[in-house]
């Protein structure tokens, strides 16, 4: 019965203030876009059901965090128990690209993940709809540098990179599908490990009348 | 009825103030009755709780409940008649009574209180006459208008429906769980329970689908991360409260609009009951292991539909005393579970004659002495005739005790009331674990009600006994009525469950044989079987068979106005309750008892005896009066209905004191006590 239940995956979106995290989420969940900029306060929580190619049903619980410095104290509560982390930058803002490393480090420190080298990250460069003239000069080269830098400690993993536009709905759906797949994969690996470990608990605990010393009276 | 009252030898005097010794306490150990806590709902309009300490004018005070947000009834009225002494006698008494007067003659105290009560009634009537235009609010006040949302609901509904239709609509809209994705229905509910992990992943919700709740779980996780304490309460305005129980890696949250539950630690207990349930099916070790090193674990993977049903059932019973529809098959209306939790998780005992109970105890005790033949071919034979052979003392060397792994044994009836119990030294299951065990048994039986007569064998962790390990519980249910065929006597439908708790997971067949032995011992003798069934089915509705004329009646003579009473023994954490006639109105009782239990009480004397009397106006002429008296050992609760204006609250006190006396005299009928100990 439990197999029929949709797997719930917790996805965190991180990145500098104003790179379009909320817009990405809005586009993905509601297929909407708003020109107006409204800073996220604290965090936003949305969910979306997805059916993957292998007919697996997953529910994404998306935690859209505030990029502003002053909300960073909330970090621990947000990052705990995440299944996947989206690192977001703005293709017109070089600083937001350079900051990805510190967002990743921040996440790993706060979330207290047991195997950081296996944890799935995905990188999204948003706002590709804008004029090429406004984009970061030689974006591909700089992006590759950063991605390599991010993956330096990863266990041979390459982090997928997507260039999206929340405004024109380019690549958003595809990016989140990859997020779901990666998180699910991670989840299954975790389960397999846990099953190995949990084999003993059924037998380990047994209260014997003679040997048991604990009574509560 | 009137004959029975006189049999007490206490005059049925309307205006006599009860001495404390008639309340079941000796005069030496206590002070005269000097305080009363009267809460009054006048014409569904006013709440006027008044605390008074008549013998010490410096402690005279009153409290007015803050119920200003209640739109349609229960508005606060500053009505404090005791600050202006009405009669001459009471005013002088108020001023002159000091600490030195504590031991003054009881009669003066009586007079004093009597005058106060008279004053109260006068004022109450006066107030009422000015508020006669509230008739429209009185539609079935007793049932549902205890929920302030009901009046508003009625306005929105069509008026041509019957009360019954409206009530059932209200219950399904505001009370019964709603698992759909409809946000409006979700927000209607008066109470929510949520369980989720520290990562904010939902595990259980009483209402709403994932669609509705996933966002809230994230929000709650964030809010809760800023609190350190294990239990935390937050109040939102006057009509909403949130209570959080933080048991890392799990978080339990209740959000409620039920104002009766606001002012107590009741919600924390309720959340703990849900926590205990999760522990009972998983054990603390498993939960901690599951989340160790991976906070993203989704606990829902290991919960099955029965677990979700049980959680729903617990949540409903905890709050309203209502059972999910399936449970009704089991004759379980959920009230006893509700009262259990309200009374700090005590266990309800079935009222039985002492001889009957002793016999059951000795049957359970003899379990430990039943031996088994070494030969295994017979061990799968459950025929009762072969069971007797286990008793034989031949071949002593080759026999072993059948019950060597048996830790605890219980006999419970269809309502989950305890009849008899056995424990083996040094082990003991506390009442919190027992309540969990019985409710799990009850809902398991209800869930599988189509397959009666099955044997159940389930591992359960008893968190207060040992939260790391499992005990193995064998359950067999029988109906005493099924044994009619044997000798042709009619026995009313009387479901019984034999519960055997073993420490060894391989002892199923031993437990099965033991249960057959117990059933055989209970049912083999017609007279015992009949008297057991008679006593279990005894109620005021069905005056018992002729047998009872020989000995004293099983239940106390019932005061005319009495609806329901509860008597609880605190140190054993057991209680018994009696319904006068008809079926209990569960929602109403739940509301009244919660108020009785959580309202402040007045200390009657130096030995810490506490008294609470609450009056709820019902219609124009009569009222429901709740009475609570407790000390360190006992607690007595009673509800009286159709209380007329011209009657004195002192009658209630008199009636209650008689009931208390009866309960103390026949205490062995009410409690299982320690039960059998091996």
Peptide bond into B165 cis (omega under 30): no
Structure-derived torsion over alpha carbons of residues B539, B544, B549, B551, reported in degrees to the nearest 10: -50
Q: What is the pLDDT of residue B246?
A: 92
Residue B8 has pLDDT above 60, yes or no: no
Tell me whether residues A206 and B225 touch, CB distance under 8 A.
no
- What letter would DSSP give residue A4? G
The CATH number assigned to the domain holding B233 equals 3.30.450.30
Query: What is the chain B residue with the closest CA to A199?
Result: B286
Same-domain status, B475 and B519? yes
Same-domain status, B532 and B575? no
Chain A residues with beta carbon closer than 8 angstroms to that of B298? 7-8, 187
Residue among B115, B163, B156, B177 nearest B311 (CA): B177
Same-domain status, B590 and B629? yes
Residue B460 near residue B474, CB atoms below 8 Å: no
Chain A residues with beta carbon closer than 8 angstroms to that of B219? 45
Residue B572 has pLDDT above 50, yes or no: yes
Selected residue of B296, B306, B427 to mutate for chain A interface (largest A Cβ count, 10 A): B296
Q: What is the pLDDT of residue B113?
A: 45
Tell me whether residues A209 and B404 touch, CB distance under 8 A.
yes
Distance linking the first and last C-alpha atoms of chain B: 43
pLDDT category at B618 given cuts 50, 70, 90 is low
pLDDT average, residue stretch B408-416: 88
More confident residue, B329 or A191: A191
Helices (H), chain A: 21-30, 75-79, 94-98, 100-111, 139-150, 172-198, 201-204
Nearest CA distance, A204 vs chain B (angstrom): 9
Report yes or no: B202 at the A interface, CB cutoff 8 Å: yes
Parent domain of B281: 175-306
Residue B100 lies in a domain: yes
Helices (H), B189-320: 210-224, 266-282, 284-291, 305-320
Same-domain status, B34 and B90? yes
Query: What is the chain B residue with the closest CA to A211?
Result: B503
* Cα B627 from Cα B606, distance rounded (Å): 20
> What average pLDDT does chain A have?
80
Same-domain status, B15 and B87? yes
Same-domain status, B400 and B515? yes
What pLDDT digit, counting tens, does each position of B142-165 carry? Answer: 344 556 666 667 666 666 666 667
Q: Among B130-144, B319-333, B467-481, whose mean pLDDT is lowest? A: B130-144
Tell me whether residues A47 and B214 touch, CB distance under 8 A.
yes
Concatenate the DSSP letters of all residues of A54-79 into one string: TS-EEEEEEEEE--SGGGGGGHHHHH
* B653 to B10, B16, B437: CA distances (angstroms): 13, 10, 37
* Spatial CB neighbours of B507, under 8 Å, sequence gap ≥ 6: B405, B406, B472
Same-domain status, B379 and B525? yes
> What average pLDDT does chain B have?
70
What pLDDT digit, counting tens, does each position of A9-48 carry? Answer: 999 999 988 898 888 988 888 888 888 777 777 677 888 8
Q: What is the pLDDT of residue B151?
A: 65
- Considering only the beta carbons, identify the residue of A74, A201, A206 that sits closest to B289: A201
State the maximum Cα–Cα separation within chain B, in Å, rounded to a whole number: 88
Query: What pairs with residue B265 in β-bridges?
Result: none
* Cα A15 from Cα A39, distance rounded (Å): 13
* Strands B250-256 and B240-247, sheet pairing: antiparallel
Q: Phi/psi of residue B369, each to 5°?
A: -105, -5
Q: What is the pLDDT of residue B434?
A: 92
Q: What number of C-beta contacts closer than 8 Å exist between A and B?
A: 134
Q: What is the pLDDT of residue B405?
A: 85
Q: Specify burial of residue B628 (Cβ count, 10 A radius: 0-12, 13-18, 19+).
A: buried
ipTM (interface predicted TM):
0.83
Chain B residues with beta carbon closer than 8 angstroms to that of A216? 428-430, 464-465
More confident residue, A66 or B317: B317
Report yes or no: B400 at the A interface, CB cutoff 8 Å: no
Residue B484 lies in a domain: yes
Tell me whether residues A114 and B293 touch, CB distance under 8 A.
yes
* Angle of the B335-342 helix axis to the B586-598 helix axis, nearest 10: 10
Question: Helix (H, G, I), strand (E, B), or coil: what is residue A9?
Answer: strand
Residue among B596, B576, B582, B660 nearest B336 (CA): B576
Report yes or no: B399 at the A interface, CB cutoff 8 Å: no
Residue B589 near residue B638, CB atoms below 8 Å: no
Residue B481 lies in a domain: yes
Report yes or no: A205 at the B interface, CB cutoff 8 Å: yes
Tell me whether residues A8 and B429 touch, CB distance under 8 A.
no
**Residue after which a domain boundary falls, among B481, B503, B537:** B537
* Cα B257 from Cα B265, distance rounded (Å): 15
Residue B486 has pLDDT above 60, yes or no: no
Chain A residues with beta carbon closer than 8 angstroms to that of B302? 2
* Dihedral sign (CA A67, A68, A70, A71): negative
Cβ atoms within 10 A of the Cβ of B344, count? 16
Query: What is the chain B residue with the closest CA to A215?
Result: B427
Same-domain status, B188 and B298? yes
* Cα B404 from Cα A134, distance rounded (Å): 82
* Cα A73 from Cα B387, distance rounded (Å): 69
Query: What pairs with residue A62 in β-bridges?
Result: A11, A46
* Spatial CB neighbours of A29, under 8 Å, sequence gap ≥ 6: A46, A47, A48, A62
What pLDDT digit, counting tens, does each position of A67-76 carry? Answer: 776 666 677 7
Tell me whether residues B504 and A47 touch, CB distance under 8 A.
no
Tell me whether residues A7 and B430 touch, CB distance under 8 A.
no
Residue B549 lies in a domain: no
pLDDT category at B488 given cuts 50, 70, 90 is low
Same-domain status, B117 and B212? no
Residue B672 near residue B422, CB atoms below 8 Å: no
Residue B507 lies in a domain: yes
Residue A87 has pLDDT above 90, yes or no: yes
pLDDT category at B169 given cuts 50, 70, 90 is confident
Residue B410 has pLDDT above 90, yes or no: yes
* Cα B25 from Cα B37, distance rounded (Å): 20
Nearest CA distance, B502 vs chain A (angstrom): 9
**Tokens at B380, concatenated:** 């799968």
Residue B363 lies in a domain: yes
Domains of chain A (ranges plus CATH)? 2-204 (3.40.50.300)
Q: Among B408-422, B528-542, B551-565, B596-610, whose mean pLDDT is lowest? A: B596-610
pLDDT average, residue stretch B268-297: 89
Interface of B with A in 461-480 (CB under 8 A): 464-466, 468-471
* Spatial CB neighbours of B437, under 8 Å, sequence gap ≥ 6: B280, B410, B429, B460, B462, B473, B499, B501
Residue A160 has pLDDT above 80, yes or no: yes
* B617 to B78, B138, B623, B642: CA distances (angstroms): 17, 10, 4, 10
- Considering only the beta carbons, identify the residue of A187, A201, A206 that sits closest to B505: A206
Tell me whether residues A214 and B430 touch, CB distance under 8 A.
no
Q: What is the pLDDT of residue B482?
A: 77
What pLDDT digit, counting tens, does each position of A49-82 carry? Answer: 888 877 888 889 898 887 776 666 677 778 888 8
Q: What is the pLDDT of residue B469?
A: 85
Tell me whether residues A8 and B298 touch, CB distance under 8 A.
yes
Q: What is the pLDDT of residue B68?
A: 30
Chain A residues with beta carbon closer than 8 angstroms to that of B197? 81
Report yes or no: A63 at the B interface, CB cutoff 8 Å: yes
* Cα B597 from Cα B593, distance rounded (Å): 6
pLDDT average, residue stretch B69-97: 29
Residue B437 lies in a domain: yes
Q: How many Å separate Cα A127 from the centre of its chain?
A: 19
Residue B635 near residue B567, CB atoms below 8 Å: yes
Nearest CA distance, A173 vs chain B (angstrom): 19
- Most confident option among B131-135, B548-552, B627-631: B627-631
Same-domain status, B374 and B501? yes
Residue B602 near residue B669, CB atoms below 8 Å: no
Nearest CA distance, A102 vs chain B (angstrom): 22
Nearest CA distance, A56 vs chain B (angstrom): 15
Residue B275 has pLDDT above 90, yes or no: yes
Residue B77 has pLDDT above 70, yes or no: no
DSSP element (H, E) containing B672: none
Tell me whether residues A10 and B290 touch, CB distance under 8 A.
no
pLDDT category at A114 given cuts 50, 70, 90 is confident
DSSP element (H, E) containing B454: none
Residue B486 lies in a domain: yes
What pLDDT digit, counting tens, does each position of A128-138 carry? Answer: 988 888 888 88
Question: In B480-572, where do the E strands start and end?
Answer: 495-502, 562-569
Q: What is the pLDDT of residue A201?
A: 47
Query: What is the chain A residue with the closest CA to B199?
Result: A81
pLDDT category at B596 given cuts 50, 70, 90 is confident
The number of folded domains in chain B is 3
If phi over 0 gives left and psi between -120 and 50 gives alpha, with beta otherwise, what is residue B632? alpha
**Residue after which a domain boundary falls, among B469, B503, B537:** B537
pLDDT category at B534 given cuts 50, 70, 90 is confident
Same-domain status, B410 and B524? yes
What pLDDT digit, counting tens, does each position of B88-141 carry? Answer: 333 222 222 233 333 333 444 445 444 444 444 433 333 333 332 232 222 233
- Most confident option among B8-17, B87-96, B357-366, B603-612: B357-366
- Considering only the beta carbons, identify the residue of A45, A112, A187 that sits closest to B215: A45
Same-domain status, B594 and B650? yes
Q: What is the pLDDT of residue B41?
A: 29
């Amino acid at each position: 019965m439990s197999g029929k239940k949709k797997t719930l995956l917790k996805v965190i979106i991180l990145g500098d203030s104003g790179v379009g995290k909320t817009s990405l989420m809005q586009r993905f969940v509601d297929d909407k876009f708003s020109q107006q900029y409204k800073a996220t306060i604290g965090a936003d929580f949305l969910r979306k059901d997805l059916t993957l190619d292998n007919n697996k049903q997953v529910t994404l619980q998306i935690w859209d965090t505030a990029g502003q410095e002053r909300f960073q104290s909330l970090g621990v509560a947000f990052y705990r128990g995440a299944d996947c982390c989206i690192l977001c930058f703005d293709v017109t803002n070089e600083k937001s690209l350079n900051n990805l490393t510190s967002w990743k480090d921040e996440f790993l420190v706060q979330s207290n993940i047991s195997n950081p080298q296996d944890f799935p990250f995905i990188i999204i460069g948003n706002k590709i709809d804008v004029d090429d003239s406004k984009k970061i000069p030689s974006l591909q080269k700089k992006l590759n540098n950063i991605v390599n830098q991010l993956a330096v400690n990863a266990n041979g993993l390459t982090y997928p990179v997507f260039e999206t536009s929340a405004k024109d709905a380019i690549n958003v759906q595809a990016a989140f599908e990859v997020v779901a797949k990666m998180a699910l994969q991670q989840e299954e690996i975790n389960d397999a490990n846990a099953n190995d470990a949990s084999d003993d608990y059924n037998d380990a605990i047994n209260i014997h009348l003679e040997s048991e010393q604990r009574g509560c009276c | 009825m009137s004959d029975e009252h006189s049999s007490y030898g206490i005059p049925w005097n309307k205006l006599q103030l009860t001495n404390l010794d008639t309340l079941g306490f000796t005069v030496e150990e206590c002070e005269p009755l000097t305080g009363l806590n009267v809460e009054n709902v006048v014409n569904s309009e006013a709440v006027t709780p008044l605390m008074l300490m008549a013998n010490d004018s410096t402690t005279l005070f009153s409290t007015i409940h803050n119920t200003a947000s209640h739109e349609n009834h229960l508005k606060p009225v500053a009505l404090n008649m005791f600050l202006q002494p009405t009669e001459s006698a009471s005013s002088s008494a108020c001023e002159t009574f000091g600490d030195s007067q504590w031991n003054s003659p009881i009669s003066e105290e009586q007079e004093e209180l009597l005058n106060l009560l008279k004053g109260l009634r006068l004022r109450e009537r006066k107030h009422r006459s000015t508020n006669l235009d509230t008739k429209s609010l009185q539609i079935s006040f007793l049932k549902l208008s205890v929920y302030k949302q009901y009046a508003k609901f009625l306005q929105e509904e069509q008026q041509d429906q019957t009360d019954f239709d409206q009530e059932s609509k209200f219950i399904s809209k505001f009370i019964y769980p709603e698992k759909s994705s409809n946000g409006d229905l979700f927000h209607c509910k008066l109470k929510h329970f949520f369980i989720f992990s520290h990562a904010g992943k939902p595990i259980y919700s009483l209402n709403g689908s994932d669609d509705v709740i996933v966002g809230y779980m994230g929000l709650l996780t964030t809010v809760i991360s800023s609190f350190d304490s294990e239990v935390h309460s937050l109040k939102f305005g006057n009509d909403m409260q949130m209570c959080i129980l933080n048991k890392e890696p799990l978080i339990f949250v209740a959000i409620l609009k039920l104002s009766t539950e606001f002012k107590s630690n009741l919600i924390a207990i309720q959340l703990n009951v849900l926590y205990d349930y999760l522990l009972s099916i998983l054990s603390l070790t498993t939960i901690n292991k599951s989340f160790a090193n991976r906070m993203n674990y989704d606990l829902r993977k290991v919960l099955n539909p029965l677990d979700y049903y049980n959680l729903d059932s617990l949540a409903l019973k905890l709050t309203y005393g209502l059972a999910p529809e399936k449970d009704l098959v089991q004759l379980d209306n959920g009230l006893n579970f509700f009262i259990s939790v309200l009374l700090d998780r005590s266990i309800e005992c079935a009222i039985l004659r002492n001889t009957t109970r002793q016999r059951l105890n000795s049957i359970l005790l003899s379990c430990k002495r039943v031996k088994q033949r070494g030969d295994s071919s017979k061990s799968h034979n459950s025929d009762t005739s072969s069971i007797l052979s286990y008793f034989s003392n031949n071949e002593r060397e080759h026999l072993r005790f059948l019950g060597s792994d048996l830790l605890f044994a219980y006999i419970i009836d269809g309502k989950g009331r305890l009849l008899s119990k056995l424990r083996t030294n040094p082990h003991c299951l506390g009442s919190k674990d027992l309540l969990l065990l019985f409710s799990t048994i009850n809902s398991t039986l209800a869930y599988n009600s189509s397959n009666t007569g099955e044997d159940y064998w389930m591992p359960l962790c008893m968190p207060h006994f040992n939260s790391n390990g499992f005990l193995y519980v064998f359950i067999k249910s029988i109906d005493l009525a099924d044994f009619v065929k044997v000798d042709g006597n009619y026995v009313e439908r009387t479901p019984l469950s034999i519960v055997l708790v073993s420490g060894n997971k391989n002892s199923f067949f031993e437990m099965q044989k033991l249960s057959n032995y117990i059933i055989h011992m209970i049912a083999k003798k017609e007279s015992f079987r009949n008297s057991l069934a008679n006593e279990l089915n005894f109620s005021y509705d069905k005056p018992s068979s002729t047998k009872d004329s020989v000995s004293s009646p099983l239940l106390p003579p019932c005061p005319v106005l009495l609806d329901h009473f509860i008597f609880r023994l605190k140190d054993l954490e057991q209680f018994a309750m009696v319904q006068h006639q008809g079926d209990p109105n569960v929602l109403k009782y739940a509301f009244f008892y919660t108020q009785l239990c959580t309202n402040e009480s007045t200390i009657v004397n130096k030995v810490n005896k506490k008294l609470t009397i609450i009056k709820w106006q019902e219609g124009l002429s009569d009222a429901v009066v709740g009475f609570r008296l407790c000390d360190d050992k006992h607690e007595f609760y009673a509800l009286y209905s159709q209380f007329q204006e011209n009657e004195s609250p002192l009658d209630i006190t008199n009636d209650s004191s008689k009931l208390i006396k009866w309960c103390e005299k026949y205490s062995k009928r009410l409690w299982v006590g320690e039960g059998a100990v091996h």
